[in-house]
């Protein structure tokens, strides 16, 4: 069975995932203690079947990991209805398409400002893909620009806990980051309660039915998820686009969908059986875990013609990069808009953009991405 943490798999998981998909649609992974799905059909079923849910169990030792556990125990992504519905409702309006469209001119302006500061060669991650979504989600939540660097550092420390078998160093860093992130968010919430702002999401959350811990968890989730995926989707997708020798399609939204599909930023999403569920030849019993391997699903030749090639104008493109079903990504309209506008502005400024050497991997499987992508144009 595939070792998801092997260096060669992290470097390029897709040949190994294809080998597994040729052998079986679903298989037990002993080291991870769960089933893994390798096809689009079964991965989609895992994401959509309401008998499979997100069931949070505190990480152990629970007392030491309480700062990390607190943020996850109280967030919408780790709960099922009716709790999921109650936690999701207060934030859903902020990501509706109409509100996102009102942010489009600001994304265009911010992308232009970032590129104004660059020369002919730059790091597409550090100088562009990373600051743009971080600044946008911070602006959406009214976080001062001076605190943006801390948001990114806290987020990076926390998400490393999502990888299989985190080291003690990773655990320690995540506990510190979770505590500092929560303290920072509590200060934001307290400030809004003393001085409410108009059209401000944190003000609305602070006045909602959510408990203090739930408000803090929501703020951290939004600040974290609001930029983490966008950074990695842009970096992964840009590398795929440039390596293919392509340029954005006349309709850049098609290219963004291919960036999402071709090299998935989120590779694995876990569910727990709450009732018996038949998945292919496997009957899951209550309590058993299964993970949809989204990268494998998004390269399934049963759904995508020529799946290992980046096709800038691929249409249709029924990828699962944002998930599916109840836990479909709440921020997908904002992420898509940011990606379309940032890609468009980048290639308007740098029509001859090319890679300068090999990009530097972040060295993780579940959240796949690069720390550095050197380009010139």
Catalytic site residue from 230, 265, 291, 296: 230
* Cross-strand partners of 369: none
Is 126 considered catalytic here? no
Q: Which of 129, 338, 341, 342 is catalytic?
A: 338
Tell me, yes or no, if 230 is annotated catalytic. yes
Helix (H, G, I), strand (E, B) or coil at 372: strand
Determine whether 338 is an active site residue.
Answer: yes
- Side-chain-side CA neighbours of residue 182 (13 Å): 20
* Angle CA 304–51–158, to nearest 5: 75
* Cα 72 from Cα 158, distance rounded (Å): 11
- Whole-angstrom distance, CA of residue 216 vs CA of residue 211: 9
Which of the residues 214, 329, 341, 342 is marked catalytic? 329
Burial of 248 (0-12, 13-18, 19+ CB in 10 A): buried
114 Cβ neighbours under 8 A, 6+ residues apart: 127, 128, 131, 132
Which of 20, 228, 257, 258 is catalytic? The answer is 228
| Distance in angstroms (rounded) separating the CA atoms of residues 21 and 152 | 35
In sequence order, what E strands does 202-309 have?
268-273, 277-279, 282-284, 289-293
Helix (H, G, I), strand (E, B) or coil at 279: strand
Q: Is-catalytic flag, 253? A: no
Comparing C-alpha atoms, which of 366, 305, 302, 313 is closest to residue 44?
Answer: 302
Catalytic residue, chosen from 94, 225, 273, 291, is 225
Respond yes or no on whether the N-terminal peptide bond of residue 122 is cis (omega within 30° of 0): no
How many Cβ atoms are within 10 Å of 176's Cβ, its own excluded? 15
Q: Which residues contact 365 (CB under 8 A, 6 or more apart)?
A: 4, 5, 9, 10, 13, 163, 164, 267, 268
**Distance of CA 147 to CAs 35, 166, 172, 202, 231, Å?**
40, 27, 22, 16, 18
Is position 62 annotated as part of the catalytic site?
no
- Paired with 291 in beta bridges are 36, 270
Which positions are annotated as active-site residues?
225, 228, 230, 329, 338
């Amino acid at each position: 069975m595939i070792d998801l943490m092997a260096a060669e798999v992290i470097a390029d998981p897709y040949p190994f995932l294809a080998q597994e998909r040729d052998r079986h649609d679903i298989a037990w992974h002993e080291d991870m203690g769960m089933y893994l799905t390798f096809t689009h059909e079964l991965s989609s079923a895992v994401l959509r079947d309401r008998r499979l849910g997100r069931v949070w169990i505190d990480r152990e030792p629970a007392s030491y990991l309480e700062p990390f556990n607190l943020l996850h125990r109280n967030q919408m992504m780790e709960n099922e209805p009716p709790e999921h519905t109650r936690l999701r409702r207060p934030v859903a309006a902020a990501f509706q398409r109409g509100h996102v469209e009102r942010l489009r001119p600001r994304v265009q302006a911010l992308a232009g400002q970032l590129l104004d500061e660059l020369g002919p060669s730059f790091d597409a991650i550090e100088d562009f893909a990373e600051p743009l979504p971080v600044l946008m989600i911070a602006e959406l939540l009214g976080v001062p620009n001076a605190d943006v660097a801390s948001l990114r550092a806290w987020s990076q420390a926390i998400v490393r806990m999502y990888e299989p078998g985190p080291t003690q160093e990773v655990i320690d860093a995540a506990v510190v980051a979770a505590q500092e992130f929560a303290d920072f968010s509590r200060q934001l919430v307290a400030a809004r309660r003393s001085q409410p702002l108009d059209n401000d999401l944190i003000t609305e959350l602070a006045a909602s039915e959510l408990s203090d811990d739930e408000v803090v968890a929501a703020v951290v989730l939004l600040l974290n998820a609001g930029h983490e995926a966008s950074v990695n989707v842009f970096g992964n997708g840009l590398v795929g686009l440039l390596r293919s020798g392509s340029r954005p399609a006349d309709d850049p939204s098609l290219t963004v969908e291919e960036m999402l599909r071709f090299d998935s930023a989120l590779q694995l999403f876990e569910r727990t059986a709450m009732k018996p569920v038949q998945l292919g030849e496997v009957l899951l019993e209550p309590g058993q875990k299964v993970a949809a391997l989204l990268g494998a699903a998004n390269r399934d030749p049963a759904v995508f013609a020529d799946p290992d090639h980046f096709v800038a104008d691929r249409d249709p493109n029924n990828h699962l990069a944002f998930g599916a079903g109840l836990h479909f990504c709440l921020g997908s309209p904002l992420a898509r808009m940011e990606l379309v506008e940032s890609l468009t502005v980048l290639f308007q400024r740098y029509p001859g953009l090319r890679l300068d050497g090999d990009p530097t991997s972040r060295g993780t499987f579940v959240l796949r991405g690069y720390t550095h992508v050197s380009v010139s144009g």
